[in-house]
Amino acid sequence: MPPRLPFLGFAAAPSSFINRIARPFSTTTACNAPRDGSDFFLGLEKAASKGAGGAPNARPRTLSFSREKIQARTDIHLNRQRKEAESMRERKVSDDYMKHMYRKWRIGDTYAPHDLHPHQMAKHRTGNKPPRKDVVDELDINPLDLYKNYSMISEFMTPAGNIKHSNESGLRAKNQRKMAKAIRRMIGMGLHPSVHHHPEIIMKRGRTAQF
């Protein structure tokens, strides 16, 4: 018996053979239709227009809600900054008034209106009075060993960088000479400026003045 070959059936009925082979493949309309680039872009445009028409207020509502939220937070932050600035301004004004009140009042003290006069307040001012005792003798230190201590050296110098007189420093003649020598040594070594106080001291005083 001769072998049965499939191509013999193809030669006898070509249409039925092709249909049997093509059956496993999809025969839906989308796959059978020819592909066209213009149809693809038109479909995207229709989908976009449909999405925009289907929910027109979804996106703007979200944006408006976020803007309102940001605006509310900004207003809260600005109000907080404004209150802090007002409190700092009031504190500065009160501190400026307290600087001119050299007398320290206590609970129960009686006073007359003329006691608040600047001339009467100046009588209680103690800032310009020189110290009555020698600090070097009280602490039992040698000024020549303090040429690296700029915080203490600055106490015996004027804001212009000059050495204070013994009437202002309150030191004895011997300790005054030692302190002057320590100051000149510190300036000569470049550890302290010669025309103003140390930069760290100026920075610290500036921060204290701000608050």
| Predicted confidence (pLDDT) per residue in 65-81, tens digit | 678 888 888 888 898 98
pLDDT at res. 185: 92
Residues 6+ apart with CB under 8 A from 161: 187, 193, 194, 195, 196, 197
Residues 6+ apart with CB under 8 A from 144: 178, 181, 182, 185
pLDDT at res. 29: 55
pLDDT at res. 176: 92
| H-helix or E-strand spanning residue 36 | none
pTM value? 0.39
Q: Copy the structure tokens of residue 104.
A: 């320290």
Residues 6+ apart with CB under 8 A from 198: 150, 151, 154, 192
pLDDT at res. 135: 85
Phi, psi angles (nearest 5°) of residue 163: -80, 130
pLDDT at res. 180: 92
pLDDT < 50: residue spans in the chain: 52, 54-56
pLDDT at res. 161: 83
Q: Which residues is 157 bridged to in the sheet?
A: 163
